């Protein structure tokens, strides 16, 4: 039934949702906690409309009339560059996705091939399609028990770079959705040894470097260009993000290319509120990072210790840390192997929401992943009790879902994307070439790319994700993945 024109269904639903009292362990990192994010909270309220100004407002985005100094916007971006240790920082209003699109467009001016971690976010794939960049993949290490991909080792990256001497850059993602951090210094060394830059999608690590217990940031570890989703754990408003250019040997080369690519994909009406929230997040991290982040770390440390003490759920952190590529874990993440305690991850996520109003960032079949944004706090005892109220189930009725082996490539990514396509029932898709990039979301890592051959294992996995209470498949023709788009014969 079509709603009445007098209704405002989205705004109503949003306001209802805002009135509920959830424990939020997902993005955005401010986690709806005005008491811990006062400056950001003050951006809203009745003054909001007055701050929703058009771009190129003098004295805000542009220098004030008669002033020969930098505009407040430029100053804010310069302060961000200083805070993160970049030569230059760009504010983004279409998320880290935009940062990945920009990076791909910039790289294409240097050449046609990049060596890229296969488990990059789908926005890197989209960026490569837009730019016409050919991707040669380096495989991440996989944890089959938890059903998750980590990062890449320097040895694996070096091998791929050797096999593709024409590559103009290496492109990796770290930390992973599970907070596992790769050795960016080692990755930078092998990349720089070939005379090319290292691009790091650090979407989940915008808070790194603002507390001694946090992992080192990619910029401080030798990355040349870093994509950072500040709204995730850094505490700005959803959709706001940053792109940082390191002050390294590739800065002169990349700087004008990034400017040009920004012009191509940045809206001509960026939101002043999003920009302001980035400025505030930077200030908060710089001024209150030690105390704020310290409190968030302490909460999650206590949660891990209490869960361990109760003995029901196996702590997955040691096994994640043991992966060949992992050198550190983000303490603002908490991964709970609920399957080891008798509850599949998807079921645990649903029950925590329904029974306890606890929202976690994501679930896989085996675990749930929660996070705290820098400075946010939680009622640890409430979380631990809620976890222990989850039912111990007969897991024979819930056989584990495994990540499918990757499809083999039959056609170039961009050629496949622009080829004539047809939509077929999923049962007839096996053996055909996918026209779409399909990614179980979260984490949004494509399970199949345009140009790859669809297998039963891939479509079964995607269909079970689509059918699970919280999964969806980005890029699919229909929500339950009953049909798939393939290259026409
Ligand atoms: C590794 C990675 N990069 C980029 C993105 C895109 O970030 P955004 O939602 O800010 O566009 C995500 C989103 O989850 C991600 O996980």
- Evaluate: CB of 229 within 6 angstroms of ligand 1: yes
**What residues contact 382, with CB distance under 8 A and at least 6 apart?**
23, 356, 358
Whether pLDDT at 179 is above 70: yes
* pLDDT per position as a tens digit, 259-314: 999 999 999 999 999 999 999 999 999 999 899 999 999 999 999 999 999 999 99
Distance 341 CA to ligand 1 centre (A): 30
**What residues contact 299, with CB distance under 8 A and at least 6 apart?**
372, 377, 378, 380
Q: Where are the domains of the chain?
A: 53-277, 413-487
Distance 236 CA to ligand 1 centre (A): 14
Q: How far is CA 187 from CA 135, 151, 153, 174, 447, in A?
A: 18, 11, 7, 11, 24
Helix (H) or strand (E) holding 270: none
Distance 120 CA to ligand 1 centre (A): 9
- Evaluate: CB of 368 within 6 angstroms of ligand 1: no
Pocket test for ligand 1, best of 26, 90, 92, 95 (most atoms within 8 A of CB): 95
What is the per-residue pLDDT for 211?
Answer: 97
pLDDT band of 397, cuts 50, 70, 90:
confident
Distance 172 CA to ligand 1 centre (A): 13
Q: Is the distance from CB of 449 to CB of 413 less than 8 angstroms? A: yes
Distance 389 CA to ligand 1 centre (A): 32
Ligand 1, atom nearest to 177 Cα: 16
Ligand 1, atom nearest to 98 Cα: 11
170-173 vs 113-117, strand pairing mode: parallel
Distance 122 CA to ligand 1 centre (A): 8
- Evaluate: CB of 173 within 6 angstroms of ligand 1: yes
What is the per-residue pLDDT for 440?
Answer: 83
Question: Which burial class, exposed, middle or buried, applies to 339 when counting CB atoms under 10 A from its CB (0-12, 13-18, 19+)?
Answer: buried
- Evaluate: CB of 127 within 6 angstroms of ligand 1: no
- Evaluate: CB of 121 within 6 angstroms of ligand 1: yes
Give the bridge partners for 41, in sequence order: none
- Evaluate: CB of 134 within 6 angstroms of ligand 1: no
- The architecture in CATH of the region 413-487 reads Alpha-Beta Complex (3.90)
Question: Which CATH number is 53-277 given?
Answer: 3.40.640.10
CA–CA separation, 277 and 95 (whole Å):
13
- Evaluate: CB of 201 within 6 angstroms of ligand 1: yes
Establish whether the linkage from the previous residue to 12 is cis, with ω within 30° of 0: no
Q: Is the distance from CB of 466 to CB of 476 less than 8 angstroms? A: yes
pLDDT band of 396, cuts 50, 70, 90:
confident
pLDDT band of 39, cuts 50, 70, 90:
confident
Distance 89 CA to ligand 1 centre (A): 18
Ligand 1, atom nearest to 445 Cα: 16
Alpha helices (runs of H) in 132-250, residue ranges in sequence order:
154-163, 184-192, 230-233
What is the per-residue pLDDT for 32?
Answer: 85
In this prediction, residues 169-177 reach a mean pLDDT of 96
Ligand 1, atom nearest to 241 Cα: 10
In this prediction, residues 326-354 reach a mean pLDDT of 95
What is the per-residue pLDDT for 442?
Answer: 64
* pLDDT per position as a tens digit, 341-381: 999 998 999 999 999 999 999 988 889 999 999 999 999 99
What is the per-residue pLDDT for 470?
Answer: 65
Whether pLDDT at 17 is above 70: yes
Which residue has a Cα nearest atom 7 of ligand 1?
96
CA–CA separation, 219 and 305 (whole Å):
31
- Evaluate: CB of 96 within 6 angstroms of ligand 1: yes
- Evaluate: CB of 97 within 6 angstroms of ligand 1: yes
**What residues contact 104, with CB distance under 8 A and at least 6 apart?**
114, 124, 127, 128, 130, 131, 133
């Amino acid at each position: 039934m079509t709603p009445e024109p007098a209704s405002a269904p989205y705004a109503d639903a949003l306001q209802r949702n805002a009135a509920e009292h959830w424990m939020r362990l997902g993005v955005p990192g401010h986690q709806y906690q005005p008491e811990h994010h006062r400056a950001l909270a003050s951006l809203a309220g009745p003054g909001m409309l007055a701050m929703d100004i058009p771009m190129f407002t003098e004295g805000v985005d542009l220098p004030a009339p008669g002033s020969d100094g930098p505009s407040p916007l430029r100053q804010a971006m310069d302060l961000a560059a200083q805070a993160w240790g970049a030569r230059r920082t760009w504010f983004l209003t279409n998320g880290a996705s935009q940062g990945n699109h920009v990076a791909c467009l910039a790289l294409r001016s240097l050449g046609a091939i990049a060596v890229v971690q296969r488990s990059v976010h789908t926005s890197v794939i989209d960026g490569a399609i837009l730019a016409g960049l050919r991707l040669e993949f380096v495989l991440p290490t996989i944890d089959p028990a938890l059903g998750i991909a980590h990062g890449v080792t320097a040895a694996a990256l070096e091998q791929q770079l050797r096999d593709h001497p024409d590559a103009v850059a290496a492109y990796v993602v770290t930390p992973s959705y599970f907070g596992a951090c790769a050795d960016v210094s080692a990755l930078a060394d092998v990349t720089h040894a070939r005379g090319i830059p290292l691009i790091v999608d650090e979407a989940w690590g915008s808070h790194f470097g603002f507390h001694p217990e946090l992992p080192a940031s990619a910029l401080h570890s030798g990355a040349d260009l870093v994509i950072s989703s500040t709204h995730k754990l850094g505490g700005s408003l959803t959709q706001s993000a940053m792109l940082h250019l390191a002050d390294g040997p590739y800065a002169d080369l990349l700087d004008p290319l990034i400017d040009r690519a920004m012009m191509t994909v940045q809206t001509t009406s960026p939101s002043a509120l999003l920009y302001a929230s980035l400025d505030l997040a930077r200030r908060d991290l710089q001024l209150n990072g030690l105390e704020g982040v310290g409190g968030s770390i302490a909460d999650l440390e206590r949660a891990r210790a209490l869960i361990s003490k109760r003995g029901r759920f196996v702590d997955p952190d040691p096994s994640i840390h043991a992966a060949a590529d992992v050198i550190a874990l983000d303490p603002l993440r908490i991964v709970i192997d609920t399957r080891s305690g008798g509850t599949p991850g998807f079921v645990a996520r649903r029950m925590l929401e329904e029974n306890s109003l606890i929202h976690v960032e994501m679930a896989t079949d085996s675990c749930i992943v929660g996070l705290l944004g820098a400075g946010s706090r939680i009622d640890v005892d409430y979380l631990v009790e809620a976890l222990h109220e989850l039912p111990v189930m007969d897991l024979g009725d819930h056989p584990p879902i495994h990540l499918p082996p990757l499809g083999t490539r039959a056609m170039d990514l961009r050629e496949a994307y622009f080829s004539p396509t047809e939509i077929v029932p999923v049962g007839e898709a096996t053996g055909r070439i996918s026209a779409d990039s399909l990614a179980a979301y979260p984490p949004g890592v494509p399970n199949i790319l345009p140009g790859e051959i669809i297998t039963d294992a891939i479509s079964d996995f995607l269909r079970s994700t689509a059918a699970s209470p919280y999964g969806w498949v980005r890029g699919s023709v229909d929500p339950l993945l009953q049909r798939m788009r393939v290259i026409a014969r």
